[in-house]
Chain A
Amino acid sequence: MTIELRTEGLTKNFGALCAVDNLDLEIQLGELVGLIGPNGAGKTTVFNLISGFLKPDRGHVYFKGKDITGVKPHRLPRMGLVRTFQLTNNFPNFTVMENVLLGAHHWAAITPRAIFSRPPRNERQDAMGILHLVGLDSLVDEMAVHLASGQQKRLQLAVAMMARPELLMLDEPLSGMTPEEIDFLLQSIKGIVDKGVTVFLIEHNMKAVMRVCKHIIVLDFGVKIAEGTPDYIQQHPQVIEIYLGTDEGAHDA
């Protein structure tokens, strides 16, 4: 197995608060890995540190064996690392199609024709295929601002897929979705993994994570407290403790 992404001693402090504490992660090529933990555990901070939106105080991030610590966010898609955001309405004043076309930014040919004309047919066809994959193909000309929150999330996934990722980092891709949408999107994500894309996702929907992820990492107060298969995580005493609370905590409440 080759290691796709690795962090080493990743640490980030916000003032006195230690958001991420000496975190070591390893994600194998082609895996679907879930990152879970209670609110404020530092999950999104980990994503921001890996994708260059935040600079770590200490530690390193390696992607495909290359040190990408402190690399500017806009340089990562070209290297194969694409992320999504927890809260976004994409590019609100663009249509669904235009949103997805922007995903092609880093690989689209920069010829005089591309600079002075509308995006070419092959990019539109790619975009159509991806929109079909996430089930938005009936809304291509809709403005993104008019989409429901679940559709926004699916559109974001489509934009990220258009950027042709090798490692796709999804920040709560299922939030704001109906159960039917969740079923559909989990199938889409599985399809993406089957195509050979490594997926690293943050998710609050425990049932969904247990269903699709083979490997789960649990974070609490910026520290990795457990890591393993869904069965192992479900049995792990510390995980049960942080999700269900201890007897002591119950008495205090």
Chain B
Amino acid sequence: MINTKRRSNRALFLCPIIALGLLPLYVDQPYIYHILTMVFINIMLAVSLRLSLMTGQFNIGHAAFFALGAYGSAILGIQFGIPSGVCLLLGGLIAALFSLIIGVVTLRLRGVYFALVSIAVVEVVRVALSQGGDLTGGSSGLGNIPTLVVFGNAITGRDEFYWFGFALMLLTIYVLYRLEIGRIGMTWKAISQSENMSASVGVNIMRYKTAAFVIGSFFAGLAGGLFAYLQGFLSPGDFGFFQSVKILIYNYVGGTALLAGPIIGATVLTLMSEPFRGFTYYEIIAFAIVLIVIIVFLPGGIITLPQKIRLRKKYDYRTPY
């Protein structure tokens, strides 16, 4: 009984993975690959933000680490000629290091106080990037980003990017999934439920919160590097407050109870916002409408839809935070 259930669950995960992996063999539409690669990047951002949310920290500054990964890997490539594959990894590490410094100072704050400081972080980073002179290209943006080369293979075509992004996203999801079901993930979720109880069984709360923040930022930085090489051009406007809010909305629209939530949320919303590209105000309105509809009709997010329409027996969707 349990075995068949587990097998059907596995099939549920494997089918879309295989379908997406084989897609470039059958479809020849660079535009589609570009959009889907953006979906992958946004999924990486959404699932990595989940770590902060899991420990109960309402982080509105996630785009800052996305930006640091993007600019970090681009600048290292342009200024120092470091191989781009290494730059991608270094971008993640730069974001992680920066988040460690920020985290040690700010993670003592809880609730709305942390949220406010995280807004400040994302704005400071955005302003710093737009005032960075020749190094960051200032507000007019940073171009001339080298081609991504991984293990000697230049990744230039949209379909190659698609495959690489897909692999990187799967890796991210896998690592975060294993972390979440393991002892560390349990502890993260415990902290958001009761800090006193957690401390009384010996959890070093600051250490665990910082770890979640830093690991999440590392993957956001990785997504940033991927974004930089995909676009070939970076502008501080891509990493503002609205970008941070979007990553949060992916989580809440998809649902916060399961890891599938941010994945579904990021997919649906990225595809939805594609027609609005270049019309930021309409995009904000569209996001707002979706968010309101979800909060009113599906407070647990899209992942609770099967239960809502009774496809599935009542299941206790747990809200870890």
By a beta-carbon cutoff of 8 Å, the part of chain A in contact with chain B is 51, 53, 72-78, 82-85, 88, 90-94, 98, 101-103, 105-106, 108, 110, 114-119, 143, 159-160, 162-163
Whether A82 pairs with B178 at a CB distance below 8 angstroms is no
Interface centre among A51, A75, A85, A91 (most CB of B within 10 A): A91
Instruction: Give min CB distance, A44 to chain B, whole Å.
Output: 12
Q: Among the listed A84, A91, A106, A115, which residue makes an inter-chain contact with B193, where contact means beta carbons less than 8 Å apart?
A: A91
Residue B278 is within 8 A (CB to CB) of chain A in the complex: no
A82 CA to B200 CA, complexed, in Å: 6
Which chain A residues lie closer than 8 Å to B187 at the CB level? 102, 105
Q: A88-B196, A91-B197, A115-B182 are in contact. Are A106 and B202 (CB under 8 A)?
A: yes
Whether B190 pairs with A91 at a CB distance below 8 angstroms is yes
Interface centre among B203, B205, B320 (most CB of A within 10 A): B203
- In the complex, the number of residue pairs spanning A and B with C-beta atoms less than 8 Å apart equals 94
By a beta-carbon cutoff of 8 Å, the part of chain B in contact with chain A is 178-179, 181-184, 186-187, 189-190, 193-194, 196-205, 316, 318-320
Instruction: Give min CB distance, B153 to chain A, whole Å.
Output: 29
A-B contact pairs, 30 of them (CB 8 A): A53-B196, A72-B199, A72-B204, A73-B199, A74-B199, A74-B202, A74-B203, A77-B202, A78-B202, A82-B200, A85-B197, A88-B196, A90-B197, A91-B189, A91-B194, A93-B189, A93-B318, A93-B319, A94-B189, A94-B190, A94-B193, A98-B186, A102-B186, A102-B201, A105-B183, A106-B201, A110-B183, A115-B182, A116-B181, A160-B200
Whether B201 pairs with A159 at a CB distance below 8 angstroms is yes
Q: A92-B193, A118-B181, A163-B202 are in contact. List 6 more A-B contacts (CB 8 A).
A: A53-B196, A72-B199, A74-B204, A88-B196, A93-B189, A105-B198
A35 CA to B193 CA, complexed, in Å: 29
Whether B189 pairs with A77 at a CB distance below 8 angstroms is no
Closest residue of chain B to A91, judged by CB?
B193
Whether B182 pairs with A102 at a CB distance below 8 angstroms is no
Whether B320 pairs with A93 at a CB distance below 8 angstroms is yes
Closest residue of chain A to B196, judged by CB?
A85
Instruction: Give min CB distance, A50 to chain B, whole Å.
Output: 12
A201 CA to B69 CA, complexed, in Å: 53
Chain B at the A interface: SS class: helix
Q: A88-B197, A93-B318, A159-B197 are in contact. Are A105 and B203 (CB under 8 A)?
A: yes
Closest residue of chain B to A75, judged by CB?
B202
Closest residue of chain A to B200, judged by CB?
A83
Whether B201 pairs with A105 at a CB distance below 8 angstroms is yes
Whether B194 pairs with A88 at a CB distance below 8 angstroms is yes
Which chain B residues lie closer than 8 Å to A114 at the CB level? 182-183
Whether A77 pairs with B200 at a CB distance below 8 angstroms is yes
A111 CA to B186 CA, complexed, in Å: 15
Closest residue of chain B to A142, judged by CB?
B316
A160 CA to B199 CA, complexed, in Å: 12
A47 CA to B306 CA, complexed, in Å: 47
A114 CA to B129 CA, complexed, in Å: 40
Which chain A residues lie closer than 8 Å to B194 at the CB level? 88, 90-92
Q: Among the listed A88, A92, A116, A163, which residue makes an inter-chain contact with B201, where contact means beta carbons less than 8 Å apart?
A: A163
A172 CA to B320 CA, complexed, in Å: 28
Which chain B residues lie closer than 8 Å to A84 at the CB level? 200
Closest residue of chain A to B181, judged by CB?
A118
Interface centre among B196, B199, B203 (most CB of A within 10 A): B199
Which chain A residues lie closer than 8 Å to B193 at the CB level? 91-94
Which chain B residues lie closer than 8 Å to A91 at the CB level? 189-190, 193-194, 197
